[in-house]
Structure 1
């Protein structure tokens, strides 16, 4: 009697993947990069604890697809970060994984050559190399945690993590967040609801045990102590923005009801700007106005920004890609980014030092 095959019926290949330890051995953490990571994490924690009156701003491309243009942006951002550092802590948005509603390019790790070759092994190594280079410049990095295995490969190079709108209610991502070494921002869901984000913060603050991998790539039971630096990110949804005063006040009340600190980050992009980058400066300006008028719960912002404004489709001939222009969501250009952050710095430089009370 022949036993029927009951597994891997839709798997056509299984390619070997280097372990996290293998890739870290090829691209080890340097003292300079480690200092940048730790300083970035501590600064965000101090902002969330109200020990540092500044705002943190996660700013950068919607996604990384060209490491040359990405590092060009990072160098510019480092100079701007030094200029506004008394008011704003700038963290570069470095997103390698793109969640998809249906289909589309899944990001630099999944398909680094943008040709459907899906060399995830090379993409992971290239992503780690890019993060090392960014941190070596002295600018901390932020990312979205999408794949639960990926943090083992480059989590030591991240200062702030987002849990996205599509995964905020996922048990897997809440468990992962509970073990991350960074502060974690939970976004409201795409329908605009805050419940999943608030519940995610509560869940991630508690210990969890779950299946994962260790540094050698072996299956392991991961046991976490919980992450007390969860906070909410308002990104709009359900056909309307939620950065306005009323929406922020409702978010404050939801956090209070759950027994959580009133720590709120405003995402200037996505549904808050109707995915139109021209509206991102208006969102940031409104946020700064709320702070000037006495708001004490807004601790940070997110901006989708690249060298060139707008976005582009991925062409069949990759040599036709426009340098420094997003291949995913549309971004504000560099000149607009500078104007936005300098204006916010100037607007809030005398206001933020007075915000000393814990929200």
Structure 2
């Protein structure tokens, strides 16, 4: 006899059927070109983390995706810049579909693709997969944040680098999920600036786990993972203070070494490190570049929030009033600034990165 639904579903309005991951993947299959791009992107990121590739990982792109047309314009531009700077920088496009909210607000393209509170999640998932396919077929690696633990079953085959955010690095669910992801995973320090939580997450995710989830067929499953050996630390500042400076980086490096982890650090130029002021992101990046030029070896990458246009905008009731290529979440630097930042980063660090390669394996 079924249990009384009023005892367990008293606050549930309805249950909607969601297509299984395998069905959406069959409708939007991974092409040979896309698979090659994703595999190459993952291998390149692993090479950076393992120090066989001296380049800097650069995760760059919009704070969040809300307009696939504008973001595809951005992707094509980034693809061209990636080829130009390939000797020093490994450019990976930031493609974030899910947005954690402190209280309420737009939760991202998958949750509400039409930005009208219609919450057509299956349509959002299909559109997100279509966009990632387009990016991969262009030959550009993609990065995203793993927020919903079910989403990777739908999109994980198209991602080359994954972030676990500041709000979720302490979450057991996200540590377990990260242990089974096929990508390298960057764990951000907590919103209060605490680095230990992220370091504990790296250790946890490197171990095997068993937990409840769904299979590619959409069935509830016991998922058993092998552990992810490519977890690393992302410094994003916290509690109103930045932590990209040389002292903070050195302290984080020492904490990683004490935990018997590789001293791999990615610096997020946005969030608390720039006080969420996009005009300060170039200053953060210039400081990081100078640290690398002067001999720092623990910084292996950076993150930049960037779009076609500078700043951000609220979501209007009349969506036709949205400015093309301007963020609806955190404010971004514009494309011209992005080009300048990345060219200067490549020029400042080129010699130091080659020295890293020359001494690889002897440190």
- TM-score category of the 2 structures, normalised to the smaller one: over 0.9
- Give the C-alpha shift of residue 3 in structure 1: 6.0
Q: Structure 1 stretch 216-225 or stretch 348-357: which is displaced more?
A: 348-357
Classify the secondary structure of the residue corresponding to 1:90: strand
Segments of 5+ residues of structure 1 without an aligned counterpart are none
* Inter-partner Cα distance in structure 2 for 1:299 and 1:351: 12
Classify the secondary structure of the residue corresponding to 1:5: helix
Structure 1 residues 176-210: Cα deviation after superposition (integer angstroms, max 9, x where no partner): 00000000000000000001100000000000000
* Inter-partner Cα distance in structure 2 for 1:291 and 1:44: 18
- Give the C-alpha shift of residue 4 in structure 1: 8.0
Alignment match, 2:245: 244
Structure 1 residues 105-158: Cα deviation after superposition (integer angstroms, max 9, x where no partner): 000000000000000010000000000001111100000000000000000000
Classify the secondary structure of the residue corresponding to 2:7: coil
TM-score, length basis structure 2:
0.97
1:203 aligns with 2:204: yes
Alignment match, 1:35: 36
Alignment match, 1:294: 295
Alignment match, 1:230: 231
Alignment match, 2:261: 260
Q: Cα distance 1:46–1:3, how it changes in 2: closer, same or farther (>3 A)?
A: closer
* Inter-partner Cα distance in structure 1 for 2:199 and 2:146: 17
Classify the secondary structure of the residue corresponding to 1:186: strand
TM-score, length basis structure 1:
0.99
* Inter-partner Cα distance in structure 2 for 1:113 and 1:203: 37
Alignment match, 2:281: 280
* Inter-partner Cα distance in structure 1 for 2:335 and 2:195: 32
Classify the secondary structure of the residue corresponding to 1:303: strand
1:174 aligns with 2:192: no
* Inter-partner Cα distance in structure 2 for 1:12 and 1:5: 12
- Give the C-alpha shift of residue 289 in structure 1: 0.2
Q: How does 1:216-227 map to 2 (within 5 A)?
A: 216-227=217-228
Classify the secondary structure of the residue corresponding to 2:186: strand
* Inter-partner Cα distance in structure 1 for 2:356 and 2:5: 67
- Give the C-alpha shift of residue 5 in structure 1: 2.6
* Inter-partner Cα distance in structure 1 for 2:4 and 2:254: 59
1:45 aligns with 2:46: yes
* Inter-partner Cα distance in structure 2 for 1:335 and 1:298: 25
* Inter-partner Cα distance in structure 1 for 2:86 and 2:285: 17
* Inter-partner Cα distance in structure 1 for 2:176 and 2:155: 18
Q: How does 1:1-359 map to 2 (within 5 A)?
A: 5-356=6-357, 357=360
* Inter-partner Cα distance in structure 2 for 1:67 and 1:126: 9
* Inter-partner Cα distance in structure 2 for 1:5 and 1:46: 53
* Inter-partner Cα distance in structure 2 for 1:239 and 1:340: 24
Would the aligned equivalents of 2:185 and 2:231 in 1 still touch at CA under 8 Å? yes
* Inter-partner Cα distance in structure 1 for 2:351 and 2:321: 46
Structure 1 residues 310-341: Cα deviation after superposition (integer angstroms, max 9, x where no partner): 00000000000000000000000000000000
Segments of 5+ residues of structure 2 without an aligned counterpart are none
Would the aligned equivalents of 2:189 and 2:234 in 1 still touch at CA under 8 Å? yes
Count of paired positions: 358
Classify the secondary structure of the residue corresponding to 2:113: coil
